[in-house]
Every structure is written in C-alpha cells, then in structure tokens.
Chains A and B, each alone.
Chain A
Amino acid sequence: MTVTTLHTARLLAGHDLDPAPALGPGTLIALAQEAGLTGRGGAGFPTWRKLAAVASGAKAVVIGNGAEGEPASAKDRALLTRSPQLVLDGLRLAGEAVGADRLYLYVPAELSGPLRARAEGVTVVEAPDAFLSGEESAVVSRVEGRAALPRDKRRLIVESGLRGAPTLVQNVETLAQLALLARNGPGWFRSRGTPDEPGTFLATISGAVREPGVYEAPLGIPLHELIGLAGGPAASLQAVLVGGYHGGWVPARPEIPVSRAGLRPYAASPGAGVVVALPTASCGLVETAKIASYLSAQTAGQCGPCVNGLPRLAETLTRLASRERHPALPAEVERVAGLVAGRGACRHPDGTARLVLSALRTFAPDVRAHLAGNCLVEGESRV
C-alpha cells in the first residue's frame, strides 16, 4: 500500500519533531475544545469531552488504540510505522491532561517490537488479529490481561475502565492530531476542513482506484477529489463503501462531501476513514454478502442475538445475492437487521445491520433484478 502525504499534510510526515510544548493541566482540553477535534477511530466523539470526563476522576489510565481490526483500514498501521513519535507525543500529552499514571499503547503484534524500543514509560500491549479487538471495552480487557472481548457497559469506560480506574481509550490518529494541535494551535487545525467539522483525517482508499493507499484529506472533501488522491478510479464506479464494514454504501456521486453532514442524507458517516470503491463490474449485493458473512464469523460469541442473528442475516443476504427467487427475502433481511440492532454488549450487530440495510437501499435495482433471477452485472458468477 502506498502511503502518501498532501503538500500540507502532516500526520504521515514521519519527521523527527521538536519536543511537544509543556502544557498546563487544563490547556490541552481547552485547545481540543477550541479546535473542535473529534475522535478518528470511527465514533467521532468530541475529544475534549472525553478528556474532561476522564480527567475528573481519580488516577486515570490512557490507552492508545491502534488495533485496527477493520480489514479495509490501514491508516493506524501507517501512522504507527511512519510517525510513531507523533502518536507517543499525543499519548503523553493526553496522559498529562487527564492526570494519568499509566500509559499503554495497544497495537498489532507485528508492530509491537519496534514500538517498544522507542516507547519509554509506555507499556505496549499486543492486539489479536480479530475484527473486534479494537472495540473500546475489548481493548481494556486485553490490557488487563484477559481476552480481547467486549464487556457489558453498565458503567462507562471513562468512569470505570482498566481495573476500575477512569480510562481514556483513544484512537492513535486522534492522539497524533492532538500532538500536532499542541504544537500548531487551534487556528492551524481549523484552517482545514469545514467550520462544523474541522481538521483532516486519514483515509484508507481501496477497491477500484489506481493507487490504493492511506491519504490525509480535509473533512468535507468531495468524493471525487478523495478518490483522485488515490490516482482516480480504475474503472467506472457505481458506489463507494464509506466508514468500513460497519459503514454504509453511498452512490458514486462525485460531489458528495466526505463529512458527517455530507454523508448523513445517505445514512453513512466517515467513520474511521475507510473508503472502498465498487466498480460497475461488481455486484454490490454479492460484495455485501461476503462482508456480512465475514462479520458474522467475527462475533465475540458472547451475546445471543448477535451470535444467532448475524449468521441468519448473512445467510439470508447470501440467498438474495445468489439470485434466489424468493420474494420475501428482502423483508426477512430487514426483519433480522432490526432484531439484532441494539441487542448486544457492543455495536457489532448494529454496524452489521447498518451495512446490510444500506446495501438494500443503494442497490435496490439489483435487489429487484436478483428476485427476478437476473443480475445487473453481466457474467456475474453465483456466490
């Protein structure tokens, strides 16, 4: 995968930086609030709020989350490989801001060696190679020494996380953004992006593009420009998956701004910056069925509705993708999607349901064709 930087991009610059300025206790939180930085791990929660919630507790813990269980995402790996110093700076700054006495960095196994060497005062913990290993409570469990499985959220992690301590679990890109923010100030941060969604984000662009890779882009960038960063489309595009496997399909309209506001009409959001371009030569239903099958095999195995519902959802969608002429299939997909959402310890069933429902919407013409025994994509083989 190519890793490229924009002319004004900073996150992947990989240069050795001057030491981060020493900030007073409330300063980083105030800077984050003024800058309007939101989490870059997918949920997009205002970072200053999370910092403030953890800071108000007793001895806190900060965990930099670089697990990146999403197969279509490579930005955290790129960041940890190219600019590890930025991530560690952000981790330390966050630690100071919340009064933490323990700092952790949670990363895929293959990155742990080089990082341990340069991460003084930080405990590097290896993340297993699974889709859910980056889920906030799964991260805490793994750092505690148990399996990387999501936990029940009766108490919020920011109040009671690692062994009961207030815990900040922050995506490594957000930490890197904090490190740059501390050096350059909120004005600089807000010079990119939109007024409501300022700053840049790292996008992992793949699929039918000429140069798949990780690229830094301002929030609100039009879709065609974002794809242009990756060398432009490699074929005629019909749709784009935005936000990863828990995201949504968006029609390949060039002017759609890649931001929460721009994607909301399509029931999608930038998520963790994953963008997969679907060419007209591929069947959207077939591709989604493959993703749904993968997701149903990646449950934690803890919660009944998810363990039972996701395979049923994937199987029903696969039947539809295989052009089975059963008129009740779309309704059954919608029924099961509604049945699993919100009924689990984590958002895995919700995200899977969201993806599947967006496929039914965006590929509605394909659904009609499949129910008639055809596929709009010629020569498509059966799943």
Chain B
Amino acid sequence: MSERLHIDWTACGGRGLCAELLPEVLDLDEWGYPLARDGLAVPEVLLPHARRAVAQCPRLALHLQTSATS
C-alpha cells in the first residue's frame, strides 16, 4: 500500500503552497499550477510534509489517497 496525492483540479487555484511544502514531488507550471515531477506517489519519508501540504492548501484541493501498489 502506498500513498499518492490527488489534485482536485476543479478546486485548485494555482496558489502554489503545495509546491513550496513538497518540492521533491511537486513543481509549478508556467501558469502556477502544480506539476508532478515524477508521478504523484509520495515516499513514506515525505508523508509528514505531504500531510502539511494537504492541510495548508487554501482551496482544499489536495488530498492523500491510499492506493494498492501496482
């Protein structure tokens, strides 16, 4: 079981806090929207940072989902 980020694109406003708090996973595109560097899977060591990013998103657009590893 692994955790991965889910972005609710209908809610995301390109505020960019997530990329500041989780730069290993997320970058920002030229319009300010989160861009996965290498997929949205979150390594276990980064989970606390991912949870913080999820909590701080001003639009509540970021979520963590548990998925079965493929």
Contact = CB atoms under 8 A, between A and B. Distances in A.
Task: Assess A/B contact in the complex (Cβ within 8 A).
Answer: yes
A173 to B, nearest CB: 29
B67 interface: no
Nearest to B12: A304
Interface stretch (A60-68, A263-271, A290-298, A339-347): A339-347
Interface residues of B, number: 16
Nearest to B63: A154
A152 interface: yes
Interface in A138-156: 149-152, 154
A308 interface: yes
Given A152-B11, A154-B63, A154-B65, A305 B6 contact: no
Most chain-B Cβ atoms within 10 A of its Cβ — which of A151, A306, A308? Answer: A308
Interface residues on A, range: 10 to 19
Nearest to A308: B31
B33 A343 contact: yes
A151 B33 contact: no
A1 interface: no
B65 A305 contact: no
A305 to B, nearest CB: 5
B65 A344 contact: no
A235 interface: no
B31 A345 contact: no
Main SS at interface, chain B? loop
A303 interface: yes
B18 to A, nearest CB: 13
A154 B8 contact: yes
B25 to A, nearest CB: 14
Contact of B12 (A149, A150, A151, A303): A303
A304 B33 contact: yes
Most chain-A Cβ atoms within 10 A of its Cβ — which of B11, B31, B63, B65? Answer: B31
A303 B29 contact: no
Contact of A302 (B9, B32, B35, B65): B9
Interface in B1-54: 6-14, 29, 31-33, 35
Interface string A282-322: 00000000000000000000111110110000000000000
A302 B33 contact: no
Contact of B8 (A152, A306, A309): A152
A152 B10 contact: yes
A149 B10 CA distance: 10
A304 B65 contact: no
Contact of A305 (B8, B11, B33): B33
B9 A343 contact: yes
B14 A304 contact: yes
Interface of A: 149-152, 154, 302-306, 308-309, 339, 343-345
12 contacts: A150-B10, A152-B8, A154-B8, A302-B10, A303-B10, A304-B12, A304-B13, A304-B33, A305-B31, A308-B31, A339-B35, A345-B9
Given A302-B9, A304-B32, 14 more contacts: A152-B8, A154-B6, A303-B10, A304-B9, A305-B31, A305-B33, A306-B9, A308-B33, A339-B29, A343-B9, A343-B33, A345-B8, A345-B9, A345-B10
